[in-house]
C-alpha cells in the first residue's frame, strides 16, 4: 500500500512500527481528529494504550479503527 501511494506522489504515509510477535492498534477521535497508536503483547493491551494515547492528544470518544496481531 505504501508503495502504491508513493507511486502516486503521496509522501505523507510512512511506517511507524513493525509488528513481530506482538499486536498493534490505531485509535481515532471522530472522523479525522486526534489519533493514537500502540504496540503491545496482546490485543487488549494494544487497544487500551492506543485509546489512551488518542485521548492524551485531546481526542474524545476515541475508538479503535484498526488492529493487527502477529503470532510470531
Listed residue (59, 21, 16, 15) closest to 40, CA to CA: 21
Per-residue pLDDT at 72: 53
Determine, yes or no, domain membership for 42: yes
Per-residue pLDDT at 13: 72
Q: What is the mean pLDDT of each run of 10 residues along the chain (72 residues)?
A: 68 76 95 92 97 96 95 66
Determine, yes or no, domain membership for 53: yes
Q: What would the grid cell of residue 43 be?
A: 490485543
Determine, yes or no, domain membership for 12: no
Determine, yes or no, domain membership for 11: no
> Domain count of the chain?
1
> Domain range spanning residue 22?
17-69
Determine, yes or no, domain membership for 7: no
What sign does the dihedral 39-26-69-49 (CA atoms) show?
A: positive
Amino acid at each position: 500500500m505504501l508503495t502504491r501511494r508513493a507511486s502516486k506522489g503521496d509522501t505523507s504515509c510512512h511506517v511507524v512500527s513493525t509488528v513481530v510477535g506482538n499486536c498493534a492498534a490505531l485509535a481515532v477521535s471522530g472522523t479525522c481528529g486526534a489519533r493514537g497508536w500502540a504496540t503491545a503483547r496482546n490485543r487488549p493491551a494494544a487497544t487500551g494504550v492506543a485509546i489512551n494515547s488518542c485521548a492524551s492528544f485531546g481526542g474524545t470518544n476515541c475508538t479503535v479503527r484498526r488492529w493487527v496481531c502477529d503470532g510470531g
